[in-house]
């Protein structure tokens, strides 16, 4: 019975992330529009876009291979699995031990690997430019992310997200310089990984500096829907990750019953809303960088992660 309940909670988590992801994207777009004094589309617009794309036929380039058609599904699968393992409204889910934080990052790496390959499949220059730049960004963002993980893992003595989140709800963790550094670095990495301004502009389609949109230029119909969904899931994953690590209060601990889950869900929605507003404000107030400024931006995140790890390594001796 307990097993069935655990499975249900895990299933609920998977459903929640899948259903909420487009809403978060729509919400951020809406807030951005309001900040720019536009009315903006409804927050439900991403759902309508997805439904429309799913109904359309897929136009595939003549020389596209099976990889081009398989990659969107693989991306969604890898991102979805990763998102299902991040604590959203509850922690200590039944499958949460099947992959720790390092594995979650690597799963996102797999999704990116296939997206970059799909970008190169048709053999157009836009796909190549996008793939090449995406891998350049990833080559800095991934080590930065791993160093952040080191910082968190050394503080909590674990790379399990559930354990870290549970530990951080307790007051004895206190304020830590390294955690502050990790937060700043994590936000920088999250911005880069999700292709938000100032790294990449998710709203542009005709700029030579675009990265993500250049890779998916050839996609249409249901494949494009999958890719949009994966991108939304990734954004949700990062917001949830930051929320679970740095504002873990309200997470339902394992075995605390239905009331705690309800509280967890409400606080989770509130955290998502705050995260979305902050992202929109940040994006509105900053201009996009040149592509070759991005390494400096991410290099700074890398340094912060390294600094945080270093401080922890050293202050262990105190």
Partner 1 sequence: MTVVSLACVAVLLATAVVGMAAGRHPAGRPLVYGLGLVATVVAFGSAVAAMVAPPAAASEVVLPLGLPWLGAHFRIDALSAFFLAVVNLGAAFACLYGLGYGRHEEAPHRVLPFLPAFLAGMNLVVMAADAFGFLLSWEFMSLASWALVLAHHRDPENGHAGYVYLVMASFGTLALLLTLGLLAGPDGGYAFAAMRGVEREAGMATLVLVLALIGAGSKAGLVPLHVWLPLAHPAAPSHVSALMSGVMTKVAIYGFVRIVFDLLGPSPWWSGMVVLAIGGASAVLGVLYALMQTDLKRLLAYSTIENVGIVFVALGLALAFRSNGMALAAALAFTAALLHVLNHSLFKSLLFFGAGAVLSATHERNVERLGGLIHRMPATSALFLVGCVAISALPPLNGFVSEWLAFQAVLQSPELPQWGLRIMVPAVGGLLALAAALAGACFVRAFGITFLGRPRSAAAEAAHEVDRLSIAAMAGLGVLCLLAGILPGTLIDALAPAAELAVGGRMPAQQAVDWLTIVPIAESRSSYNGLLVFLFIAASASLAVLAIHRFASRAVRRAPAWDCGFPVPSPDTQYTAGSFAQPIRRVFASMAFRARERVEMPPPGDPRPARLTVEMHDPVWDWLYAPVAAAVGWIADRMNRLQFLTIRRYLGMVFLSLVGLLMVIALWP
Partner 2 sequence: MGDLTFDIAHMLAGGLVLLSFVMLYQDRLYALLNVYALHAVVLAASVAWQAFAQDAPHLYVTAAIALAFKAVVIPTALHRIIRRLGIHREIETVGGVGPTMLAGMGLVALSLAVMLRITPEAEPLAREDLAFALSVVLLGLLMMVTRRNAVSQVVGFMSLENGLVLAAAGAKGMPLVVEISVAFSILIAFIVIGIFLFRIRERFDTVDLHALDRFRGERR
Rule CB under 8 A: which residues touch partner 2?
172, 174-178, 180-181, 184, 295-296, 299-300, 303-304, 306-307, 310-311, 314-315, 317-318
Q: At what angle do helices 66-85 and 221-246 cross, to 10 degrees?
A: 20
Q: Does 222 sit near partner 1 (CB under 8 A)?
A: yes
Q: At what angle do helices 221-246 and 45-55 cross, to 10 degrees?
A: 150
Give which of partner 1, partner 2, none residue 109 binds (C-beta under 5 to 8 Å, depending on kind).
partner 1
Q: How far is the CB of 295 from partner 2 (least distance, A)?
A: 7
Q: How far is the CB of 128 from partner 1 (least distance, A)?
A: 2
Q: Does 121 sit near partner 1 (CB under 8 A)?
A: yes
Q: Does 245 sit near partner 1 (CB under 8 A)?
A: no
State the DSSP string of 173-228: G---HHHHHHHHHHHHHHHHHTT-TTT--TT-SS-TT-SHHHHTTT--HHHHHHHH
State the DSSP string of 67-110: HHHHHHHHHHHHHHHHHHHS-SSBSS-TTGGGS-HHHHHHHHHH
Q: Does 63 sit near partner 1 (CB under 8 A)?
A: yes
What whole-number distance in Å separates Cα of residue 65 and Cα of residue 235? 28
Q: Does 157 sit near partner 1 (CB under 8 A)?
A: yes
Q: Which is nearer to partner 2, 208 or 318 (CB)?
A: 318
Give which of partner 2, partner 1, none residue 192 binds (C-beta under 5 to 8 Å, depending on kind).
none
Of 42, 27, 51, nearest to 225 by C-alpha is 51
Q: Which is nearer to partner 1, 84 or 186 (CB)?
A: 84
Q: How far is the CB of 273 from partner 2 (least distance, A)?
A: 27
Q: Which is nearer to partner 2, 90 or 301 (CB)?
A: 301
Q: Does 117 sit near partner 1 (CB under 8 A)?
A: yes
What whole-number distance in Å separates Cα of residue 227 and Cα of residue 196? 16
Q: What are residue 252's DSSP bridge partners?
A: 90
User: Which residue of 6, 33, 128, 263 would you call a contact of partner 1, by CB under 8 A?
Assistant: 128
Interactions with partner 1, residue window 299-318 (CB under 8 A): 302, 305-306, 309-310, 312-314, 316-317
Q: Does 10 sit near partner 1 (CB under 8 A)?
A: no
Give which of partner 1, partner 2, none residue 176 binds (C-beta under 5 to 8 Å, depending on kind).
partner 2
User: Which residue of 41, 47, 95, 187 would you call a contact of partner 1, by CB under 8 A?
Assistant: 95
What whole-number distance in Å separates Cα of residue 50 and Cα of residue 218? 17
Q: How far is CA 32 from CA 91, 256, 278, in A?
A: 31, 38, 10
Q: Answer yes or no: are the C-beta atoms of 260 and 253 closer than 8 Å.
A: yes
């Amino acid at each position: 019975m307990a097993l069935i309940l655990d499975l249900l909670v895990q299933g609920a988590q998977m459903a929640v992330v899948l259903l909420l992801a487009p809403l978060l994207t729509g919400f951020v777009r809406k807030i951005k529009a309001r900040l720019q004094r536009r009315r903006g589309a409804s927050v439900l617009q991403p759902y309508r876009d997805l439904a429309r794309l799913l109904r359309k036929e897929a136009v595939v380039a003549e020389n596209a291979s099976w990889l081009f058609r398989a990659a969107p599904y693989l991306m969604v699968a890898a991102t979805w699995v990763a998102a299902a393992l991040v604590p959203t409204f509850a922690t200590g889910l039944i499958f949460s031990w099947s992959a720790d934080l390092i594995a979650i990052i690597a799963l996102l790496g797999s999704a990116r690997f296939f997206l970059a390959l799909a970008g190169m499949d048709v053999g157009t220059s836009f796909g190549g430019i996008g793939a090449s730049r995406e891998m350049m960004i990833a080559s800095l963002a991934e080590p930065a992310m791993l160093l952040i993980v080191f910082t968190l893992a050394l503080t909590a003595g674990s790379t399990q997200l559930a354990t870290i989140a549970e530990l951080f709800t307790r007051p004895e963790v206190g304020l830590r310089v390294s955690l502050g550094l990790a937060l700043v670095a994590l936000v920088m990495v999250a911005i880069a990984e999700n292709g938000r301004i100032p790294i990449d502009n998710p709203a542009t389609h005709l700029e030579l500096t675009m990265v993500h949109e250049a890779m998916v230029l050839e996609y249409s119909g249901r494949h494009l829907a999958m890719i949009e969904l994966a991108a939304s899931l990734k954004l949700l994953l990062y917001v949830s990750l930051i929320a679970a690590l740095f504002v873990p209060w309200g997470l339902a601990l394992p075995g605390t019953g239905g009331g705690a889950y309800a509280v967890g869900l409400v606080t989770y929605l509130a955290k998502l809303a705050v995260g979305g507003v902050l992202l929109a404000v940040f994006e509105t107030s900053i201009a996009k960088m040149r592509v070759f400024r991005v390494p400096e931006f991410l290099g700074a995140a890398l340094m912060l992660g390294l600094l945080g790890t270093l401080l922890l390594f050293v202050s262990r001796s105190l």
